[in-house]
Homo-oligomer: A and B are copies of this chain.
Amino acid sequence: MSKTDETAFETTRRVRDTCLCLHAQRAARKLARRFDDALRPVGLTSGQFSLLNSLNRPEPAGMGAVASLLGLDRTTLTAALKPLERRGLVQICVDPRDRRGRLMTLTPAGQALLTAATPLWASEHALLPGLLVEREVDSLRRDLLALS
């Protein structure tokens, strides 16, 4: 193996071990699977639970606000709503005060499902702190790793 190759492999190892983006993706995937499992009894994915939850407010929410709350693209939100709308959990209507906008509301069925799902979320979430370690300089990365 040439010296150049060794350097390349060394760089690769450094990227692999330090990249916060990779650590975050990995932790996010594993957490999603974990909560997907926990929420399977009520037929929701972790993402759908977060979405339903974010729609549970006194006043109907607009798409932009929810997309930004969840940190996802507006078009991703549009797509994510479709299965929920099909299942009658969410209702979407034109904002009468600005006809470009849409307002999303939980239906009673959506409310009920969210209520059923929340305890499942809570028990699963209660398990997580046990995975985390002490804190210091590189602790975010260690935490993301611990969750993986």
**Chain A residues in the interface with B (C-beta under 8 A):** 1, 5, 8-9, 11-12, 15-16, 18-22, 24-32, 34-35, 46-47, 50, 53-54, 56-58, 69-72, 111, 114-115, 118, 121, 125, 128, 132, 135-137, 139-140, 143-144, 147-148
Contacts and interface: CB of A to CB of B under 8 A. Distances in A.
Nearest to A146: B140
Given A15-B121, A16-B53, A139-B139, A32 B21 contact: yes
Nearest to A29: B71
Contact of A19 (B8, B50, B58, B139): B50
B56 A20 contact: no
A71 B30 contact: yes
A72 B30 CA distance: 8
B72 A9 contact: no
B140 A57 contact: no
B139 A18 contact: no
Nearest to A38: B21
B136 A24 contact: no
B140 A29 contact: no
Nearest to A76: B29
Contacts of A18: 125
